[in-house]
Structure 1
């Protein structure tokens, strides 16, 4: 009887834990898709919803290199970037996670033919993922 209780308890805890992992993975995918949609549509406002209050923003084609820029200022800078380089496509390359961070590389293609390598680093808080670092490097 004791063995059955241990097996049952192990299964219950395993199900709860795997449900937590599945929920976290679904949340990561949802955030990744929202960010992708914001960049692909050139919507700086929707992208800025996912910014930390201060973030690193680098856009080498515009000679922009802010190591700690306020989220509102970063939104305005990206709004101008999207005007100058309207989006044609945005595709994730590599995505990964480490302790309390999520990172990805991507390719941003502009309508005018320019292409940028994009690096995004998000910090994981208790409830959400927020962009801490955003780099656009012209190819």
Structure 2
């Protein structure tokens, strides 16, 4: 009976680790895509529809439309640097990350919320707010 308990505990820890690893991997991939100013790479991690806030303009876009919005944003605000300053999960368990994007001396606070979609984690909300 004890061995069954340990096997169950081991299996649960593997599931938790793989979910945590997949979340971290998604955040790392998005971080690298933002750092390089690649709208195409960022959009690979968008949900089918994504809420995008740039400064105070809040819109819901399809994945393809959001890619063009970010292409324009990166063109007008090429990245100097991007770092993740905090990441965690909401009370409801949704992972999120907060970052700092610097372009031409301007600083943007970046916030993204990620949700599980099958075996993947996808961004369903992302904001770039000028500080």
TM range (shorter): over 0.9
Runs of 4+ in 1 over 6 A off after TM superposition: none
Q: 1:103 maps to which residue? A: 96
- TM-score in terms of structure 2 length: 0.93
Q: Report matched runs for 1:47-62 at 5 Å.
A: 47-60=42-55
The answer to whether the 8 Å contact 1:43/1:79 transfers is: yes
Work out which of the two has the higher radius of gyration on C-alpha atoms and give 1 or 2. 1
Displacement after TM superposition at 1:123 (Å): 1.2
1:21-62 C-alpha deviation (Å, 9 max, x unpaired): 1111111111111000000000000100111111111111xx
Displacement of 1:126? 2.6
Partner in structure 1 of residue 78 of structure 2: 86
Q: Does 1:115 align with 2:86?
A: no
Q: Which runs of 5+ in 2 are unaligned?
A: none
* Structure 1: gaps (5+ residues): 1-5
Taking the aligned partners of 2:109 and 2:68, their CA distance within structure 1 comes to 20
1:3 is aligned to: none
Aligned ranges for residues 27-66 of structure 1 at < 5 Å?
Answer: 27-60=22-55, 64-66=57-59
The answer as to 2:120 corresponding to 1:125 is no
The match for 1:10 is 5
TM-score (norm. length: structure 1): 0.88
1:65-91 deviations in whole A, cap 9, x for unaligned?
21x211111111111110111111111
Does the Cα contact within 8 Å between 1:100 and 1:123 map onto a contact in 2?
no
How many residues are treated as equivalent by the alignment?
130
Taking only aligned residues, the RMSD between alpha carbons, in angstroms, comes to 1.3
Secondary structure in structure 1 of the residue aligned to 2:118: coil
